[in-house]
Structure 1
Amino acid sequence: MARPFSLLVKPAGPDCNLACTYCFYLSKTSLFGRQIHRMSSAILERMVASYMATEQPVYTFGWQGGEPTMMGVEFFRNAVALQKQYGRPGAQVANGLQTNGTRISDEFAAFFAEYKFLLGVSIDGPPELHDHYRPYESGRASHSEVLKGVERLRKHGVEHNVLTVVNAHTVEHPRTLYRYLKDLGFDYHQYIPCVEYERDGSLRPYSIDGPRWGRFLCELYDEWAADPDQVSVRHLDALMQHALGGPAAMCSLASSCRQYFVVEHNGDVYPCDFFVNENMKLGNVQTHRFGEMWQSPLFRQFGRMKRMLPVACSECEYLSWCRGDCPKHRVNGADNPVAALQASTEPPVSTLCEGWKSFFSTRLPDIERQAKYRAQVQ
C-alpha cells in the first residue's frame, strides 16, 4: 500500500506569460512539442478520478507551471466539480496554486476565495531585485503587475504566501528580501535556492554556489531571529520541527524523495518536476493507476536516491539535518539522476554542501534553543 502522496499538476505544461531567465521548466517545451500546451477535460477527469480512488488522509492538488492561471477560471471550476464528483463522503481536499501573480483577475480571486485555494505568489523582492530575472517576454518589468494581483487576492480574502528564488542577484540581499516581503504583509516566506547547470556540469550564471547559500541562510536567520514579530520561514520552520523530533517538512530535507507525483498536461507522470524527461517517465494517467506507478521499479529507485550518499555525507555530523540535500543539487544536471548516482563510484556532495555546513555549524545551537522555547510557549 502506498504512503500518502500528493499531486503536482502542470495543466499548462511549461507555458507562461513571463520569461524568467532562471526558469528550469521553460525548456520542457522541447519535450512535448507544439507551442501551446493545455490539459484536456478528459485527462483532467481521468487524473482526478484516479487520485480520488486512492486512500489519502487529505487529497492534495498542487497546481503549478509554467503559469497555471493560463488555463482560465473555468478549467479550475471543472477541477473542483470533479473532486466533488469522485470524492468519497467526508473526503478532505486541499488545493494549492503557485502563480507569478500577473494574471490574477477579480474573477480568479473570487473563485480562489470561494473554494479555499492556498496561493503561492512568486516575488523576488523589491523591483530592482525582482525585475532583474523576471520580465515579460517583451522584456517589460513584471513587479508592478504582481503587486496588483496580490491586492486582488487580499481584496477577496484569499489565503496566500510568498515564494522567492535565491539567485545570483538576490542572494546578496537576504535582509532586504526578508524586510521587504514582511513589510508587504506576507506572513509565510519560502526561499528556494537557484541551482541550474550547463551541459558540462558547471553552474549557470544566475545560479548560486555553496558559500553564497551559506551566507544567505546565516544573514536571513539572524534577521529573522532578531525580529520581535517573526514571520514563518519554511526552511527555518522545517529545521525547528526536526529539532523537536518531528518529520521533515520539506522533501529536500527528508530521507526519501518518494513523496508526490508530477502530472503533466498530457497525462504523463513523473517523480519530481526537477526530473521531467523521458528517462524518468513513470506512466500516464490514461493507462496507469497511481498505485501501480508507486510500486514501479523506477519510482522505488528514485525514492532511494537520497540514501546514495558519498562517504563525506555518511560521516558528516549534520547528515540527520540535511539528508544529503536535494538530489538535483548532487547530479550536476544529469537527465537520469538514478543512473548517474548508480554509475558513480563515489557520488558527489551537494553543490550547496559548504553553505549548509557553514549555516549548521554557526546557527544550529540557536535553532535548537528557539525550537525548545517555541514548544514551551505554545
Structure 2
Amino acid sequence: MTFAPAYHVLAKPTGPICNLDCEYCFFLSKEMLYPGDRFRMADELLETYLRQLLESHLTPEVTVAWQGGEPTMMGLDFFKRSVELVEQLRRPHQRISYSIQTNGVLIDESWAGFFKENNVLVGVSVDGPRALHDAYRVDKRGEGSFDRVMAGYEHLRAADVDVNVLCTVNAANQDHPLDVYRFFRDEMGVKFVQFIPVVERTTQTLLPLANLGWSSANKEKRPLYVQQGDLVTERSVAPEAFGRFLTTIFDEWSRTDIGEMYVQHFDAALANWYGEPAGVCVFSETCGSAVALEHNGDVYSCDHFVEPDYLLGNITETPLGELVRSDRQMRFGQDKLDRLPEFCRTCKVRFACHGGCPKNRFTQTPDGEDGLNYLCGGYKVFFNHIDESMRIMCDLLREDRAPSELPDVLAAREAALYKDAKRNEPCPCGSGTKYKKCHGGPVTPAASPVAL
C-alpha cells in the first residue's frame, strides 16, 4: 500500500450521466469514452474505492466527495451505504468530511435529512436569478430548471444543511454581476459562493459543432470534449467581462459582506496576499492533488482532463495511493509551474494568479510564447483592482484585527486625502480633473439594476 499525503478525489458514481442537459456542460460528451456502459458504480467498486482512499491517507482529515454527472441519480441508498462503509473502514482518529455537488433537482426532505445527519456539505449549481440560470441550465426537453432547483434548495434550507452555491460565469450572466450576487445573498440566503468561468475550448474545425452545445439533443453530432484548440464557444465568458464581474462583486462584498459572505476567489486572493496557501488549485503554484474517479474505477489526472491522454489507471489494478503519487501525476502537477511563460513569471500579480488553470492556457503572450491563460486580461483587471484592499486586510490580520474593518480604514484614508482639497485644484485622486468635477462634485445616482 502506498501512503499519500492529503489529496482530493472527485468520485463520479454515475459518470457523465445527468438528469439535466446544460448546454455548456462538456462533461456530457464523456459518455463517448465508455460506449454502451450503464454508468453506475458497483457496490464492490465502492468498497474498493473507500478502502483505498482511507488507507492511503497519511493525514487524519479525509474528504469523501461526490460529483457527476448528477450523483443523486444513484439513489439515496447508495450514499447511505457509503457512510456505513466509511464507518467500518476508517482508521482510529481519522476525521471524515463529506461533500456532494448536485444540480438540486432530486433533493427532497429525505435527502436533506440525510445530508444534515451526516454533516454533508452540499454544493448546488445555480447561475443566478431565473432568466440567467435558465439561459443554459435546461433539461432534456430544453426547458429551464430554475423552479426545480429552487425547490430542492428549499429542502436543504429547511433542514439547515451547509450549502455552497457553485455559479458558472458565462456569456449570459457575465454582465449581471450584482443581480447574481444579490440573488444569492438576499434571496437564497447563502453564505458560500464559488464562481467558475465557463471556458469551452475548441478548434476551428469543431467550433460549429461545439457551439451547438454538448446536450443530448446534439448527441449524434457532438465531439468528445478534450483540451485542444485556441478558440472558445459563444457561451464562454469573455476574459475582461470575467474581470469586471469579479471586481464589481468584490466592491459590493468589501463594503458590506466581509465575514458574512465567503467567495472562493476572494478567500484565495487574501491567502496569496498574506503568503498562505491559496486553498484552491487554480491559484496555486502547482496542482495535481485532486484527481477524478470514474464510475468504473478509472482515475484521471484532473476533473478537467477526463480524456484518454490523462488516464492514470484503474483502482482495481493499481491502488489509488500509487496512482495519485505516480511520477506521471507528479509531472502533471509540476507542469503548471514549469510551463509557465516568461511573460507570466515577470508579472506583478503572478503571486496571486500562478497562471491560472492549465486547461485555459491556450493563448499566446504578446511576444508570441504559447501557454498564456485565456482569462489573463480578466485576472489582471481583478487582481490589480483589489490590491489596496488586500494589503489593508493583511495589515489588519497582522494586527490581530478583523478584515471586516476594511471599509472603516478606507473611509478614514479617503477623508484624510480630501480633507484640504480645493475646488479648483486638481483632485487628490490623481485623475487630472479639478476636484469640483471629480470627487468634490455631486454624487451620481447609482444605476438601476437590470430587470430579469
- TM band (smaller chain): over 0.9
Matched, 1:243 2:246: no
Quote how far apart the aligned CAs of 1:356 are: 0.8
Residue 296 of structure 1: aligned partner: 326
Counterpart Cα distance in 2 of 1:237 and 1:282: 31
Residue 340 of structure 1: aligned partner: none
Specify the structure having the higher radius of gyration (Cα).
2
Matched, 1:79 2:82: yes
Residue 215 of structure 1: aligned partner: 244
User: Counterpart amino acid of 2:112?
Assistant: A
What stretches of structure 1 of length at least 5 have no aligned partner?
Answer: 333-344
SS at match of 1:283: strand
Residue 359 of structure 2: aligned partner: 328
Counterpart Cα distance in 1 of 2:165 and 2:315: 31
Quote how far apart the aligned CAs of 1:289 are: 1.1
User: Counterpart amino acid of 1:252?
Assistant: V
Residue 263 of structure 1: aligned partner: 293
Matched, 1:63 2:76: no
Residue 336 of structure 1: aligned partner: none
Quote how far apart the aligned CAs of 1:228 are: 5.1
Counterpart Cα distance in 2 of 1:233 and 1:296: 33
Counterpart Cα distance in 1 of 2:395 and 2:233: 40
Counterpart pick for 1:88 among 91, 112, 128: 91
User: Counterpart amino acid of 2:77?
Assistant: E
Residue 335 of structure 1: aligned partner: none
Matched, 1:192 2:200: no
Residues 196, 204 of structure 1: 8 Å contact kept = yes
Quote how far apart the aligned CAs of 1:109 are: 1.1
Residue 104 of structure 1: aligned partner: 107
SS at match of 2:256: coil
Q: Sort the Cα spacing of 1:36 and 1:291 in 2 relative to 1 into closer, same or farther, 3 A.
A: closer
Q: Sort the Cα spacing of 1:123 and 1:82 in 2 relative to 1 into closer, same or farther, 3 A.
A: same
Q: Sort the Cα spacing of 1:228 and 1:9 in 2 relative to 1 into closer, same or farther, 3 A.
A: closer
Residue 359 of structure 1: aligned partner: 382
Residue 227 of structure 1: aligned partner: 256
Quote how far apart the aligned CAs of 1:374 are: 5.2
Counterpart Cα distance in 2 of 1:112 and 1:21: 29
Over aligned residues, Cα RMSD in angstroms?
1.6
Map 1:120-199 onto structure 2 (within 5 A). Answer: 120-183=123-186, 184-199=188-203
SS at match of 1:249: coil
Matched, 1:317 2:340: no
Residue 219 of structure 2: aligned partner: none
Residues 272, 351 of structure 2: 8 Å contact kept = no
Matched, 1:350 2:373: yes
Residue 369 of structure 1: aligned partner: 392
User: Counterpart amino acid of 1:377?
Assistant: R
Residue 45 of structure 1: aligned partner: 47
Residues 11, 64 of structure 1: 8 Å contact kept = yes
The percentage of aligned residue pairs carrying the same residue is 39
Residue 337 of structure 1: aligned partner: none
When normalised by structure 2's length, the TM-score is 0.78
Counterpart Cα distance in 1 of 2:165 and 2:401: 27
Quote how far apart the aligned CAs of 1:285 are: 1.1
Residue 8 of structure 2: aligned partner: 6
SS at match of 1:59: strand
When normalised by structure 1's length, the TM-score is 0.93
Quote how far apart the aligned CAs of 1:372 are: 3.2
Summarize deviations over 1:319-368 as a string: whole Å, max 9, x none. Answer: 11100100011147xxxxxxxxxxxx943210000111122222212122
Residues 11, 39 of structure 1: 8 Å contact kept = yes
Q: Sort the Cα spacing of 1:171 and 1:374 in 2 relative to 1 into closer, same or farther, 3 A.
A: farther
Residues 362, 374 of structure 2: 8 Å contact kept = no
SS at match of 1:225: helix
SS at match of 2:81: helix
Counterpart Cα distance in 1 of 2:22 and 2:37: 17
Summarize deviations over 1:29-61 as a string: whole Å, max 9, x none. Answer: 101112641100011010001111112321111
Counterpart pick for 1:204 among 225, 233, 238: 233
Counterpart Cα distance in 1 of 2:60 and 2:10: 17
Q: Runs of 4+ in structure 1 displaced over 6 angstroms?
A: none
Q: Give the paired residue count.
A: 366
Residues 17, 137 of structure 1: 8 Å contact kept = yes
Residue 339 of structure 1: aligned partner: none
What stretches of structure 2 of length at least 5 have no aligned partner?
Answer: 205-228, 403-452
Counterpart Cα distance in 1 of 2:99 and 2:156: 14
Residue 17 of structure 1: aligned partner: 19
User: Counterpart amino acid of 1:322?
Assistant: C
Residue 429 of structure 2: aligned partner: none
